[in-house]
Each structure stands twice: as structure tokens, then as C-alpha cells.
Amino acid sequence: MSTNDATVTPLRPKRPCPECGRPSARETYPFCSTRCKELDLNRWLKGVYVLPGVDNDADTEEKAPEPPRD
């Protein structure tokens, strides 16, 4: 049974690599190479991909409960 590459459906569509923009590779999806995959992992480990948070101290000072009135 012979298979033609044109009739085989890829498991994932090729997308641009998030690091360099080249087409992604099956082995390192969604990246194009091991190098780009490791660059992204390094950024995660260094904390580059951090979402800014809200300062909780400022919220608690503004919303302090009022004392009950007699």
C-alpha cells in the first residue's frame, strides 16, 4: 500500500513560529525548531511572560468599612 504525500492530511496545520515567523515543524510544534522552542521556554522560566497584577493594598485602604452610627 503506497501513500502519496498529497493525500495524507497533516495532523496540525502549519502556522508561523511565534519566535521567528518561519513555518512550524511537526516535531517542535508550534515552533519551527528546537532553538525557538528553547528560547520560549527560557523566557517562561525567567518570568518574562508575566501578567501585571493589581496592588491589593490600595484596594483595601479605599474600601475600608465605615464604623456603625448610633
Q: Kindly give, in sequence order, each residue whose CB lies less than 8 Å from that of residue 38, ignoring residues fewer than 6 positions away.
A: none
Tell whether residue 69 is among the known ligand binding residues. no
Tell whether residue 65 is among the known ligand binding residues. no
Tell whether residue 31 is among the known ligand binding residues. no
Residue 12: name the closest of 27, 2, 34 by CA.
27
Tell whether residue 37 is among the known ligand binding residues. no
Residue 17: count of CB within 10 angstroms of its CB = 20
For the annotated binding site for Zn(2+), the residues are 17, 20, 32, 36
For the annotated binding site, the residues are 17, 20, 32, 36
